[in-house]
């Protein structure tokens, strides 16, 4: 009772003496303490999270991230600024290492080994990150709202749809498969974009062998069932064909000896060659190896229709003759398309009739504020030099003389090359050392006092824009964009005060950040039989077993966690010792 009397007297003192200057109360709990400090002659305040700043002024900006693929996950992993709160919205609650999806289709690697829960990735970060397993339905950029629907298949009492506000929006939703509106593709073909796709393909392959082994099936029907068609000669299609060939010849023929002579794999490509994005030496080697392995490679064959049992192809080399090809399972891997809600958003911001969202060199979506797009759903709309040529000339002409001295020209060379990367590509293609070499054909630059007029300037840079190229839709590009954007947000306040980017040729001052630049680190094309083709920086090409071990080491090291690294290496070891699993269980 004495304790209650003490607190009663203290409470009465607060009421009886409101003008008391200060009161310090220390409450000790378990060896620690809470300290409360009150000023009796001031109104109550919310405690600010930073010294000298009201909470209202220091409210955290909210970043909404759509997607947990390469781009979105790379952004989350590299964001370190605690002044933001992040809301992640994605229909899948994990990151998948997609380059190993072809390996999952044949049991070389298990699906569990290449996925990592997003909550595991972000739980130790010093940033407030919340996750919602839901799909985005609509983006309202004008009111900065995202309309979503829960991806969970249960009754949420009518609360399946919800709205999320944002201060910054990062769109990293990837892309759909592009069927080019070919009849029957969606209904009859498999795709390889998600882990679920790989698991479904694995089950279908085994189903085909089991059905072909039934005594009631005719030999003609067995040939059809065991004919595996792969549409698309890009990296995914080629790697899947190679994985399937190894799976069949190293594992399945031992379990299904009665049908091994009936198995056939066909790779269909509309172009003249497979792996067009690789060096010609790799393309030639891959085509020769597939022919040796017995994979039927048909180039110049465009698929025009797919039914449940036949694929119709148009032979571009033979006058457009259309022929039918029976098949048991077909994989469609011919490029990427735009997601429906992204199409709606593109129309909303004036980008209708585009293949992907257009961004500037800082990955900001053109036509709206504080919205960024990274990964396969977006493409950088690099500005042309000739569109800004007059503004560049005025910025360089500091004395407004109407001409440029070599010194004035050299002072803006660095900013020009950074703002317009096609300049460096053009110099490289022409084997020129620097931009001064561009002027040799239009002016006498051997003398230090040579001057250029606007026409000389235009002539020197007139062909530079011919080197503009879109970045490939790869995980490597998406990951680098995510890292770049995270670094921008980490240093947003600093760069607002001290911009570090190139000159604003159409405005004053400098851009806040350096523009995004993709650095190509090389690419692999596994071709089966423990052989891989590698095209690395510096035009270095390696093909064979040594490249396969390089592929193993790179893909193991690129996993997002030590758990994934251990599981993937374990799967590879299990396959070497025991072979691939041929059960229906995943």
Say if residue 259's pLDDT is above 60. yes
Q: Are residues 250 and 182 in the same domain?
A: yes
Domain limit, last residue, from 432, 467, 502: 467
Domain limit, last residue, from 409, 436, 467: 467
Say if residue 14's pLDDT is above 70. no
| Cβ neighbours of residue 137 closer than 8 Å, sequence gap 6 or more | 147, 148, 149, 161, 341
pLDDT score at 443: 57
Identify the bridge partners of residue 540 per DSSP, sorted by sequence position.
Answer: 536
pLDDT score at 406: 77
Q: What percent of the chain has pLDDT over 70?
A: 86
d(CA 114, CA 449): 62
For residues 357 and 170, the answer to whether their CB atoms sit within 8 Å is no
Range in 18-22, 104-108, 428-432 the model is least confident about: 18-22
pLDDT score at 45: 34
Say if residue 213's pLDDT is above 80. yes
Q: What percent of the chain has pLDDT over 90?
A: 72
Which CATH number goes with the domain that contains 399? Answer: 1.10.238
Q: Are residues 182 and 240 in the same domain?
A: yes
In a domain, 310, yes or no: yes
pLDDT score at 155: 55
d(CA 178, CA 339): 10
Say if residue 1's pLDDT is above 50. no
In a domain, 21, yes or no: no
Say if residue 453's pLDDT is above 80. yes
| Mean per-residue pLDDT of the chain | 87
Q: Are residues 201 and 331 in the same domain?
A: yes
Res. 4 pLDDT band, cuts 50 70 90? very low
Say if residue 285's pLDDT is above 90. yes
In a domain, 400, yes or no: yes
Q: Sort strands 321-326 and 310-315 into parallel, antiparallel or unpaired.
A: antiparallel
d(CA 273, CA 483): 34
pLDDT score at 434: 73
pLDDT score at 15: 43
Distance of CA 335 to the CA centre of its chain: 14
Write out the residue range of the structural domain in which residue 202 sits: 177-336
Name the phi and psi angles at 79, rounded to 5: -75, 125
pLDDT score at 424: 87
Q: Are residues 331 and 389 in the same domain?
A: no
Radius of gyration of the chain (CA): 31
Q: Are residues 421 and 324 in the same domain?
A: no
pLDDT score at 39: 34
d(CA 383, CA 54): 42
Say if residue 28's pLDDT is above 70. no
Range in 55-69, 357-371, 403-417, 434-448 the model is least confident about: 434-448
Range in 21-35, 81-95, 120-134 the model is least confident about: 21-35
In a domain, 312, yes or no: yes
Say if residue 341's pLDDT is above 60. yes
Q: Are residues 185 and 320 in the same domain?
A: yes
The token pair at 10 is: 């203290």
In a domain, 496, yes or no: no
In a domain, 224, yes or no: yes
Compute CA distances 475 → 28, 287, 479, 533, 568, whole Å: 54, 25, 6, 18, 19
pLDDT, tens digit, for every residue of 456-514?
A: 888 888 889 988 889 999 999 999 999 999 999 999 999 999 999 999 998 999 999 99
Q: Are residues 246 and 319 in the same domain?
A: yes
Q: Are residues 191 and 329 in the same domain?
A: yes
Q: Are residues 318 and 233 in the same domain?
A: yes
Q: How many residues does this entry show for the chain?
A: 586
pLDDT, tens digit, for every residue of 242-258?
A: 999 999 999 999 999 99
Res. 329 pLDDT band, cuts 50 70 90? very high
pLDDT score at 585: 60
Q: 280 or 335: whose pLDDT is higher?
A: 280
Q: Where are the alpha helices (DSSP H) in 139-247?
A: 185-188, 195-212, 219-225, 235-247
Which CATH number goes with the domain that contains 293? Answer: 3.50.50.100
Q: Are residues 254 and 312 in the same domain?
A: yes
In a domain, 567, yes or no: no
| Cβ neighbours of residue 121 closer than 8 Å, sequence gap 6 or more | 73, 76, 77, 95, 560, 561
Say if residue 74's pLDDT is above 90. yes
pLDDT score at 409: 79
Q: Are residues 211 and 290 in the same domain?
A: yes
Q: 365 or 17: whose pLDDT is higher?
A: 365
pLDDT, tens digit, for every residue of 360-384?
A: 999 999 999 999 999 999 999 999 9
Number of neighbouring beta carbons within 10 Å of residue 13: 12
Looking at the 3D structure of the chain, how many domains does it have? 2
DSSP structure string for 109-164? S-GGGGEEEHHHHHTTSSSEEEEEEEEEEEEETTTTEEEEEE---S--TT-SEEEE
The token pair at 70 is: 């390469």
* Averaged pLDDT, 439-452: 60
Q: Are residues 306 and 411 in the same domain?
A: no
For residues 306 and 312, the answer to whether their CB atoms sit within 8 Å is yes
Domain limit, last residue, from 321, 336, 351: 336
pLDDT score at 303: 97
Closest CA to 312 of 189, 304, 182, 296: 304
Number of neighbouring beta carbons within 10 Å of residue 62: 18
For residues 20 and 42, the answer to whether their CB atoms sit within 8 Å is no
Closest CA to 547 of 250, 282, 236, 290: 282
pLDDT score at 450: 64
Torsion sign (Cα): 507, 508, 511, 515: positive
For residues 349 and 365, the answer to whether their CB atoms sit within 8 Å is yes
pTM over the 0.85 mark: yes
In a domain, 456, yes or no: yes
């Amino acid at each position: 009772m004495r304790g209650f009397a003490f607190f009663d007297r203290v409470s009465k003192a607060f009421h009886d003496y409101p003008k008391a200057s200060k009161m310090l109360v220390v409450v000790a709990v378990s060896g620690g303490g809470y300290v409360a400090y009150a000023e009796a002659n001031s109104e109550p305040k919310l405690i600010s999270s930073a010294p000298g700043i009201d909470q209202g002024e220091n409210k955290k900006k909210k970043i909404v991230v759509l997607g947990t693929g390469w781009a979105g996950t790379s952004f989350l992993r590299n964001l370190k600024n605690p002044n933001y709160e992040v809301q992640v919205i994605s229909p899948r609650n994990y990151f998948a290492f997609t380059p190993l999806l072809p390996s999952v289709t044949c049991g070389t690697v298990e699906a569990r080994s290449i996925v990592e829960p997003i909550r595991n990735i972000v739980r130790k970060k010093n940033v407030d990150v919340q996750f919602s397993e839901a799909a985005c339905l609509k983006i309202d950029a004008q009111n900065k709202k995202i309309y979503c629907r829960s991806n969970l298949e249960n009754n949420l009492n009518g609360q399946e749809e919800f709205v999320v506000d944002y201060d910054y929006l990062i769109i990293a939703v990837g892309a759909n498969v592009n069927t080019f509106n070919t009849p029957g593709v969606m209904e009859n073909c498999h795709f390889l974009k998600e882990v679920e796709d790989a698991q479904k393909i694995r089950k279908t392959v085994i189903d085909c062998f089991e059905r072909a082994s039934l005594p009631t099936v005719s030999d003609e029907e067995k040939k059809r069932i065991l004919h595996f068609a792969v549409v698309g000669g890009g990296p995914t299609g080629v790697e899947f064909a190679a994985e399937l060939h190894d799976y069949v010849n190293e594992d399945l023929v031992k379990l299904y000896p009665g049908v091994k002579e009936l198995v056939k794999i066909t790779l269909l490509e509309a172009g003249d060659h497979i792996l067009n994005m690789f060096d010609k030496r790799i393309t030639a080697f891959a085509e020769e190896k597939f022919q040796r392995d017995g994979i039927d490679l048909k180039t110049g064959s465009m698929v025009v229709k797919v039914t449940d049992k036949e694929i119709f192809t148009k032979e571009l080399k033979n006058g457009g003759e259309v022929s039918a090809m029976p098949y048991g399972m077909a994989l469609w891997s011919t490029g990427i398309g735009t997601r429906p809600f992204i199409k709606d958003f593109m129309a909303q911001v004036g980008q209708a009739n585009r293949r992907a969202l257009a961004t500037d060199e800082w990955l900001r979506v053109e036509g709206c504020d504080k919205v960024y797009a990274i990964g396969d759903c977006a493409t950088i709309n690099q500005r042309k030099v000739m569109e800004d040529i007059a503004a560049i000339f005025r910025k360089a002409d500091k004395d407004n003389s109407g001409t440029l001295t070599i010194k004035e020209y050299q002072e803006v060379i660095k900013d020009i090359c950074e703002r317009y990367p096609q300049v460096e590509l053009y110099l490289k293609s022409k084997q020129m050392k620097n931009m001064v070499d561009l002027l040799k054909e239009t002016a006498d630059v051997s003398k230090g006092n040579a001057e250029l007029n606007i026409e000389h300037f235009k002539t020197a840079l007139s062909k530079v824009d011919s080197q503009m190229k879109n970045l490939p839709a790869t995980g490597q590009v998406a990951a680098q964009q995510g890292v770049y954007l995270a670094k921008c947000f980490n240093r947003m306040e600093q760069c607002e005060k001290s911009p570090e980017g190139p000159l604003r040729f159409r405005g004053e001052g400098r851009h806040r950040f350096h523009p995004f630049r993709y650095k190509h680190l090389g690419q692999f094309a596994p071709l089966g039989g423990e052989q891989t083709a590698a095209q690395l920086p510096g035009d270095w090409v390696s093909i064979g077993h040594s490249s396969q071990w390089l592929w193993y080491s790179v893909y193991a090291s690129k996993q997002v966690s030590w758990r994934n690294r251990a599981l993937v290496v374990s799967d590879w070891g299990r396959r070497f010792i025991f072979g691939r699993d041929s059960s229906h269980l995943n």
